């Protein structure tokens, strides 16, 4: 089992991540939380990929994960935050009611400190997140629009992107101005995590 993003994590936290992965596998049969191909490599494709975001974030603040789906990265972040004793207030936003039920079940069974909002992102009042994340939700321009609504003026957005990240960034810059850092993904050398702040519509 690869643990490259989890080298300094306790055995108890690793065990809780493994319990969560098992829960995802169980529920995926019913509600398709992750694709069949990626479920066969759930740890590397989803758990470690999500754990990278926690490493890049401040150690406290209001963390909002948009389109949480199967709990990546939101539930992984909640597990790591609990294990590290960080001061995060974690909110998962998921409009699909079945997936929202799964997320609440995971939070309850794993005894995590997080809440779920089962609403459409654009229908929620501004959440004023200090940290905003979204994985496999929409293109970067769309994510910047959500950040414009829900990210605090001094907040940080963490958006993992696949091999087309440069193309998405260029397209987003036609609509949005921002400051950003590009962090190479540990789970896919052709992918990247975009650390974005100071988002303003052009």
Residue 3 lies in a domain: no
Look at residue 5 in the predicted model and tell me its pLDDT. Answer: 64
Look at residue 35 in the predicted model and tell me its pLDDT. Answer: 62
- What is the rounded radius of gyration, in angstroms, for the C-alpha atoms of the chain? 16
Residue 6 lies in a domain: no
Predicted model pTM: 0.93
Tokens at residue 164, please?
Answer: 């087309």
Parent domain of 117: 11-201
Residue 149 lies in a domain: yes
Is 122 assigned a ligand-binding role in the annotation? Answer: yes
Is 85 assigned a ligand-binding role in the annotation? Answer: no
Is 135 assigned a ligand-binding role in the annotation? Answer: yes
- Starting at the edge strand found earlier in the chain, the sheet holding 60-66 runs 114-117, 87-93, 60-66, 129-134, 151-161, 192-201, 176-184
Q: What is the pLDDT of residues 153-188, one digit of tens each?
A: 999 999 999 999 999 999 999 999 999 999 999 888
Is 104 assigned a ligand-binding role in the annotation? Answer: no
Q: Which residues lie closer than 8 Å to 74 by C-beta, 6 or more apart?
A: 65, 68, 90, 92, 103, 114, 133
Look at residue 44 in the predicted model and tell me its pLDDT. Answer: 76
Look at residue 38 in the predicted model and tell me its pLDDT. Answer: 54
Among the listed residues 12, 10, 5, the one whose alpha carbon sits nearest the alpha carbon of residue 44: 5
Look at residue 188 in the predicted model and tell me its pLDDT. Answer: 85
Look at residue 3 in the predicted model and tell me its pLDDT. Answer: 44
Look at residue 1 in the predicted model and tell me its pLDDT. Answer: 39
Secondary structure of residue 90 in the 3-state scheme = strand
Residue 191 lies in a domain: yes
Look at residue 195 in the predicted model and tell me its pLDDT. Answer: 97
Task: Show the CA angle centred on residue 77, arms to residues 73 and 83, nearest 5°.
Answer: 155
Counting the structural domains of the chain, the total is 1
CATH number at residue 183: 3.40.50.150
Residue 40 lies in a domain: yes
Residue 151 lies in a domain: yes
pLDDT in tens, the chain (202 residues): 344 567 788 999 999 999 999 999 999 888 878 766 555 578 777 898 899 999 999 999 999 999 999 999 999 999 999 999 999 999 999 999 999 999 999 999 999 999 999 999 999 999 999 999 999 899 999 999 999 999 999 999 999 999 999 999 999 999 999 999 999 998 888 999 999 999 999 9
* Cβ–Cβ under 8 Å, residues 136 and 99: no
What DSSP state is assigned to residue 3?
-
Residue 153 lies in a domain: yes
Look at residue 54 in the predicted model and tell me its pLDDT. Answer: 95
* Cβ–Cβ under 8 Å, residues 112 and 80: no
* Cβ–Cβ under 8 Å, residues 34 and 21: no
Residue 111 lies in a domain: yes
* Integer Cα distance of 114 and 124 in angstroms: 17
């Amino acid at each position: 089992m690869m643990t490259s993003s989890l080298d300094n994590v306790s055995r108890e936290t690793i065990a809780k991540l493994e319990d969560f992965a098992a829960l995802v596998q169980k529920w995926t049969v019913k509600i398709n939380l992750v694709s069949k191909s990626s479920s066969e490599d759930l740890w590397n494709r989803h758990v470690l990929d999500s754990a990278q975001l926690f490493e890049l974030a401040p150690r406290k603040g209001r963390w909002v994960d948009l389109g949480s789906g199967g709990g990546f990265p939101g539930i992984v972040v909640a597990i790591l935050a609990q294990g590290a004793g960080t001061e995060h207030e974690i909110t998962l936003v998921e409009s699909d009611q079945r997936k929202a039920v799964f997320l609440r079940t995971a939070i309850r069974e794993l005894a995590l400190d997080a809440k779920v909002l089962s609403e459409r992102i654009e229908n929620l009042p501004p959440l004023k997140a200090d940290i905003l994340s979204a994985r496999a939700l929409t293109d970067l321009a769309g994510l910047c629009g959500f950040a414009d609504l829900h990210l605090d003026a001094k907040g940080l957005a963490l958006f993992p992107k696949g091999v087309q990240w440069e193309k998405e960034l260029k397209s987003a810059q036609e609509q949005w101005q921002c400051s950003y850092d590009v962090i190479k993904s540990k789970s896919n050398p052709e992918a990247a995590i975009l650390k974005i702040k100071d988002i303003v519509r052009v």
